[in-house]
Amino acid sequence: MSYLSPSTHSSSITPMKLSNHSAEFRREIINVTDGVYVAIGYGLANSILLVGEDGIVIVDTLESVEAATPVKNAFDKITSKPIKAIIYTHYHSDHIGGAGVFARGNEVDIYTNEETVKELNRVSMVSKAIHERSMAMYGSFLTTPPYINDGIGPFLYLNNDTQVAYLPPNKTFSDDTFKITIAGLNMELISTPGETNGEIAVWLPDKRVLICADTYYKSFPNLYSIRGTKFRNPETWASSVELLRRLGSEYLIPCHTRPIVGAEKIDRVLSDYRDAIQYLHDQTLRGMNKGLTPEELVEAVKLPSHLSNNPYLKEFYGNVKWSIRSIFYGYLGWFNGNATNLFPLSLEERANRFAQLAGGEKALFSKAEEALAKGDYQWVLELTDQLLLLPNYKKEARDMKSRALWTLGLNQGNAPARNYYLTQALEAAGTLTIPPLKGYESIFLSLEIMTILKLMAINLKSEKSLKLYMAARFNFTDIDEIYSVNIRRGVAIVEPYVLDEVTFTVACTSLIWKGIIGELIRPSIALAKGDLKVEGSIVEFYKFLSLFSDQIFDDSPF
């Protein structure tokens, strides 16, 4: 094997170990105990069937129609009892995208923490960025091989050919513990913030069954996700694990990987899981208080052997070094304490200085070639990043970068890192372009109207509106709410009230406007049908729309 820098390759997690880990989510319907079944291996996450006296409850619904359909068919063979409720443990797409398949058009109560709805609206503001990074992290456009798995599941069943059947929750709660009885099943929905603020566990005290969502799965926890997340506080996560440990369950069902049976084993696994999270948190803060930078911390803080060698804490999904960096930035922000980084050189200037130090751009290119020949792949990446900012050798630099990324990926046993390396290798080679977000209409249409208007604001073409003053009033007739969008010199200000002066007024249902912004309805067609009414200048209306997107509003007659 070629030389790999220790900073980029984990010796404890190999591709072979990642491949062996696939057995953890081989496709199967497991009868955990009386009336409790879990579907594993049909998509990234698990779906759980709870059979009650006169109906069933589904906990989590996988990521897409295509993932959920075979699970629904398998559950139908177990019982013909009608569905009474669906529970979302949190908002991540692999847990909510197949709800429509299980409901099949029936009126179904859908339970979740009210924070889940807030988080779904918040994350939608950066959905395009997260989509591209998610597709890389989960290897959605890789072939097998080199693709192995996703670390916590066999694959993410989301791509350009899949559909999402999300249904918005209609039973939300904010209590730390929410007790309900459905179909004769006594359940407690327990707030367990960790991966998300709104995460909940489902506790069935009569059966001693604990569905722990993503608070635990068989891998080192994803305290930071490279697809992009806000700070996941390890201290909070560790407290949630401890809360679940103290329940003393006989059956532990994670929403990724396989169930664990036996109170003693569950106690031991959760104790070690909690300790690993807290150890990393506490020792990172200890180092921060000594003045260590993130770069120094990732070399200084290591899990002790009794935790790092634990089979339930291998870095198949989460990564210790990424977690340490996230803890630093979560507490202290982007500045690492070194004044050199207060006002660093621009990327272009830094690249030019690199070239000068090497003896010119040609010499820098030669250094990259030498590093590639030696198998020093991380150095190849750092050098080619500089070359790609310089006028010459761009094609050669992309080729070298692609080869380095591919080799690093093939030797990586952490699934997100492996998939990301390999995906970006294909992108650098010019053989892959991740397509735009598709198939999420059901989620988009469920967003709050304020979120939709804010999505408009963040897509404003500031360069075309720096000299403009425009204001639009929106009357949403179905929800009896009025909003204003005020364009003022490069900023679109959204307010839930009426301005004294507006350029025009729009009247429609919130669903029609969501359809227009989501590229599902053309404005000209909505106007012609009377679904959209504009009071004032139609010319100004289309001018307003053109400031947010060329693609959506290119049907303007003006």
137's tokens: 């992290």
DSSP H or E segment with residue 403: helix 394-410
Whether the Cβ atoms of residue 434 and residue 132 lie closer than 8 Å to each other: yes
Can you give the pLDDT at residue 551?
60
Can you give the pLDDT at residue 214?
98
Distance CA 413, CA 68 (A): 28
Can you give the pLDDT at residue 189?
98
Q: In what order do the strands lie in the sheet with 109-113?
A: 28-33, 36-40, 47-51, 56-59, 83-87, 109-113, 171-173
Whether the Cβ atoms of residue 152 and residue 63 lie closer than 8 Å to each other: no
Q: Is 463 exposed, middle or buried (0-12, 13-18, 19+ CB in 10 A)?
A: exposed
Can you give the pLDDT at residue 549?
79
Distance CA 433, CA 152 (A): 25
Whether the Cβ atoms of residue 234 and residue 283 lie closer than 8 Å to each other: no
525: CB partners within 8 A, 6+ apart: none
Whether the Cβ atoms of residue 482 and residue 476 lie closer than 8 Å to each other: yes
Distance CA 365, CA 389 (A): 12
- Does the global pTM surpass 0.85? yes
Give the residue carrying structure tokens 């329940």: 247
Q: Which domains does the chain have, with CATH numbers?
A: 15-332 (3.60.15.30), 347-411 (1.25.40.880), 448-546 (3.30.1050.10)
Find residue 484's DSSP bridge partners: 473, 495
What is the torsion angle, in degrees rounded to the nearest 10, for the CA atoms of residue 331, residue 311, residue 252 and residue 137? 60
Cβ atoms within 10 Å, residue 309: 11
What is the torsion angle, in degrees rounded to the nearest 10, for the CA atoms of residue 111, residue 115, residue 121 and residue 122? -160
Distance CA 19, CA 415 (A): 10
432's tokens: 């892959």
C-alpha distance across the termini of the chain, in Å: 63
Can you give the pLDDT at residue 500?
86
148's tokens: 């192995």
222: CB partners within 8 A, 6+ apart: 152, 195, 232, 317, 318, 416
Averages of pLDDT over runs of 10 residues in the chain (558 residues) are 39 90 97 98 98 98 98 98 98 97 95 97 94 96 96 95 96 97 98 97 98 98 96 97 98 98 98 98 98 97 97 97 98 96 97 97 98 98 98 97 98 98 98 91 95 95 93 96 95 92 96 94 95 95 89 53
Distance CA 124, CA 102 (A): 24
Can you give the pLDDT at residue 293?
96
